Structure 1
Amino acid sequence: MERINEVALEISRERVRGASWSSEAMAKAILNEANKNTISCKDIDIITKIVTDANPLMGSLYNLSLIMQNACNQGKTLEWATNKFLSYMSWARKSIVEHAAQLFKEEINIFTMSNSSNILDVVARYKEKINKVLVGESQPGGEGAYFATQTKSLGIDVELYPDSAVSSAIEKSNVILIGADNITIDGCLFNKVGAKNVAIIAGYYGKPVISVFEPFKINPIMKCNNEIALTRSYLVEGFGQLTYRLFDELPNNLIDGILSVNGLTDVSQSSLKFLHDSFVSWFNTN
């Protein structure tokens, strides 16, 4: 189980790669150990604790644990569960990209922040319909700068903004796309710190905020206003340690819609429950 613990530690320290990468890396580590017969369903309680403790605010890790637990309860194997989870990830990402065509009726400017792999897939696919991508730097961590570099390499016109200047970028945009690390079943969205400011500014300018995510990021047992607060710190010269929360919690009245495997929809509890139920049932039919 050494490699699983190593990946869990890497996830807990990661600053740039988000929920999709975390669950994929963990699923591959578990699959590798299961293929070597070093772990099995008899270890499921230990494994699920390691997985969820790596980052308790990542819905993707909760749902990876859920699918493994369900598989073991049904007499299936960890190999089956992790293989299926990875297959679902691939299918979901492709589905989101296909449905994103609904956003591109005309050439548009997009604002984003942080480093969503789903949003990168979308802009790569529809780059001919994009006039410009405007990106918030997303400090501390600089995930937005990383995203901007990747987007620029695709030949897309990109403008990178310091976080203190994102209001001017949002004003020039047609739509705001943000990712999600976790979505509670009653519609609160957790994303990189700074996302709440972006959504509030977007509301001021009347720009739609669309969150792009796969259903396995919906946590069916978590509700809004939860008390989990993951923090990090860095040293400010002359002041000392500055401690900040890793994630903002956005209530659903700051989100205009979601783009997921069924296309554009609202952020109601019924929509989220339907998406999550469909995710779980996918493993019984595929």
Structure 2
Amino acid sequence: MLGGDRVVEQTFTQAIAEIAADNRSGATQIAERAADILLQRASVGQAPSAEAFRREILLTGWALIHAQTVMAPLVNLVNTVMWRMEQGDSPRVLHQAVAHATEEFKRQLHQHALHVAEGTLGLIDEGSKIVTLSFSSTIQHALIHAQRAGRRIEVICAESLPGREGRETAQVLRSCGVNATLYDDAAALAAIEKANLVLVGVDMLTSTGLINKAGTEALARAARAAGVPFYTLCGSEKFLPPGFQLDRVEPAPANGSTRAALPNLSELPFDFTPLELLSGIVTEQGILPIAAIEAWLAATRLHPALSHYSAEAVY
């Protein structure tokens, strides 16, 4: 029996390690895999009580969050599951709660992507030249949707060093008939001057800005200087719930910004773009101004179990 338990734990350790090592997939893809892992944990767990069951799920959830510390969908996934388990009084009932929560979360990921793509269509005119970067399934869905809606567009994909994820984006778009060209990062920045629109994905949106692949902030500043609209495509699963604190944080800046709650980006291939550089945010509820996002974030409830980082959860 003990040997079987070790095999199970090794399986989860390996699955979470693979998520931690994945530096190419977007936040939405990672979140889908994480939802499956949580459901598997609920299905094979041997917890003798509801309290022990919740603890198993919470520790696995924390391990997933720790695996990709800048991906807010993981926080929202675990937050959703923890709230759904509040009322259960037995492992069997809680297993059903986890199954329903993870299934609903995955369904919403796909629904949000469709609604965001539809909302983005209003930003894209016939003949638009659009600059983007890195790999984002949300961006790809939106641009392919525009192409299928009859918009003839030209897309410039920044290569996005060091991972060069922009190469895959260009390939995906071209395979769907979109006129997409791969540029090196410097050339993509220069191309903004003659572009009509800059669109980027996001891994985490907070009340002060967005975290996305390195190069996003430079695109935003170049767009601001050139007077080109800059939008991020962001389903609400990428909003970081207020009150959530990560174990690795930046020192508080002198200007008193709340950015101290963010991960230490100096060690990661991501950067931070202040909200004031954005023209707007395309969500599943349409194109929203910054003030609306701040109100949305303020209404989000963080489960108490996620208010403090759990060091026990590192697999």
After TM superposition, list the pairs within 5 Å mapping 1:188-267 onto structure 2. 188-220=209-241, 221=243, 223-226=258-261, 228-230=263-265, 245-267=268-290
Q: Please, which runs of 5 or more residues in structure 1 have no aligned partner?
A: 232-243, 281-286
Counterparts of 2:117 and 2:298 in 1: how far apart (Å)?
19
Q: Please, which runs of 5 or more residues in structure 2 have no aligned partner?
A: 1-8, 48-52, 89-93, 245-257, 303-315
Going from structure 1 to structure 2, the CA distance change for 1:227 and 1:257 (only over 3 Å counts) comes to closer
Partner of 2:155: 133
Quote how far apart the aligned CAs of 1:180 are.
0.4
Is contact 1:111-1:170 (8 Å) kept?
A: yes
Counterparts of 2:298 and 2:239 in 1: how far apart (Å)?
6
Quote how far apart the aligned CAs of 1:45 are.
2.5
Matched, 1:56 2:69: yes
Quote how far apart the aligned CAs of 1:28 are.
1.4
TM-score by length of 1: 0.85
Runs of 4 or more, structure 1, over 4 Å off, are 36-40, 275-280
The structure 2 residue matched to 1:143, chosen from 159, 165, 177, is: 165
Q: Which structure has the highest strand share of the two?
A: 1
Quote how far apart the aligned CAs of 1:72 are.
1.2
TM-score by length of 2: 0.78
String of CA shifts for 1:5-30, please: whole Å, max 9, x gaps: 32321222112112111111110122
Counterparts of 1:84 and 1:276 in 2: how far apart (Å)?
23
String of CA shifts for 1:235-277, please: whole Å, max 9, x gaps: xxxxxxxxx5321011111111100101111123x42442684
Letter in 2 for 1:49: W
String of CA shifts for 1:27-79, please: whole Å, max 9, x gaps: 01222343445674341221221121111211111111101111111325211
The structure 2 residue matched to 1:175, chosen from 190, 197, 200, is: 197
Partner of 1:17: 25
Quote how far apart the aligned CAs of 1:105 are.
4.2
Matched, 1:114 2:134: yes
Identity %: 26
Going from structure 1 to structure 2, the CA distance change for 1:201 and 1:38 (only over 3 Å counts) comes to farther
Quote how far apart the aligned CAs of 1:204 are.
1.0
Is contact 1:180-1:213 (8 Å) kept?
A: yes
Going from structure 1 to structure 2, the CA distance change for 1:17 and 1:9 (only over 3 Å counts) comes to same
Counterparts of 1:104 and 1:95 in 2: how far apart (Å)?
15
Aligned-residue CA RMSD (Å) = 2.2
Counterparts of 1:134 and 1:7 in 2: how far apart (Å)?
34
Which structure would you say has the larger Rg? 2
Going from structure 1 to structure 2, the CA distance change for 1:74 and 1:2 (only over 3 Å counts) comes to farther
Moved more, 206-215 or 37-46: 37-46
Question: How many residue pairs align between the two structures?
Answer: 266
